[in-house]
Every structure is written in C-alpha cells, then in structure tokens.
C-alpha cells in the first residue's frame, strides 16, 4: 500500500502499489481513505495490544531489566573501586620508600613497579 492523493493533495488514500506503478489492470483493489484506516488500526492497537494487563507486564519486564543493569553496574563499580584502592595503596607504599630513603626516585625498579 502506498500513499495516494486526490484533489491536489487535499485527500489522502492508501492504494495498491502495483496498480499505481503498472496501471489499473494490475490490481482490482480500491483506494481507502487514510484517516479512516489509520483510526481503525490505532483503535485495534489500543484495544488489543495496549491493554492494562499488557502494559503492567511491559512495565514489570522493564523494571526487571533496569534492576539487573543496576546490579551489574554496581558490581562493576565495586571492582573498579577495589582496583583504585589497591593502586592508591601501592603508590603510598612506594612514596614511603622514597621518603624514608630506602629507594631513590630515579631507581628503575620504581618505574617497573607501575607495569605490574
């Protein structure tokens, strides 16, 4: 079905695409008014698909997905926070070694400590 117009675009219809491209002999179908057809389709969708029970089910599914995503994000955040804490602790240990004179800041082992 394709959009068809009448009276210089004043009226809008759905029409058989084959008939519009290849002529009247291709399809015996008629044009149907777009507004009326759209209203029928939207009413059917509202009555059959967008019922209260179905919307409740959709909402529950979305909430379950959001809860799962939030839990995964929280777990991931926990891993990153633990890694950050470990890195800060390692940095403080190295700084203490340098401050107490047990390690020189130019020591190559200090540079290698960050690659592990």
Over the stretch 15-36, which tens digit does the pLDDT of each residue have?
A: 887 766 777 777 777 888 899 9
29, 61: one domain: no
Asked whether residue 29 is domain-assigned, the answer is yes
71, 92: one domain: yes
- pLDDT value at position 26? 75
SS3 33: strand
Asked whether residue 70 is domain-assigned, the answer is yes
Cα distance between residue 61 and residue 43, in whole Å: 25
Put the strands of the sheet holding 2-6 in their side by side order: 2-6, 11-15, 32-33
Residue span of the structural domain in which 64 resides: 51-97
Asked whether residue 4 is domain-assigned, the answer is yes
Give the count of domains, the chain.
Answer: 2
Asked whether residue 56 is domain-assigned, the answer is yes
Cα distance between residue 59 and residue 65, in whole Å: 10
Q: Is 15 in contact with 4 (CB distance < 8 Å)?
A: yes
- pLDDT value at position 89? 94
Its pTM stands at 0.46
Mean pLDDT for 2-19 is 79
């Amino acid at each position: 079905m394709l959009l068809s117009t009448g009276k210089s675009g004043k009226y809008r219809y759905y029409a058989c695409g084959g008939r519009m491209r290849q002529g009247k002999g291709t399809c015996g179908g008629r044009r149907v008014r777009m507004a009326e057809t759209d209203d029928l389709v939207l009413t059917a969708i509202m009555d059959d698909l967008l019922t209260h029970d179905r919307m409740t089910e959709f909402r529950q599914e979305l909430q379950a997905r959001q809860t799962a995503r939030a839990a995964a994000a929280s777990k991931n955040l926990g891993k990153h926070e633990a890694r950050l804490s470990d890195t800060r602790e390692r940095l403080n240990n190295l700084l203490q070694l340098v401050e107490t004179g047990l390690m020189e800041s130019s020591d190559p082992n200090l540079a290698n400590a960050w690659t592990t």
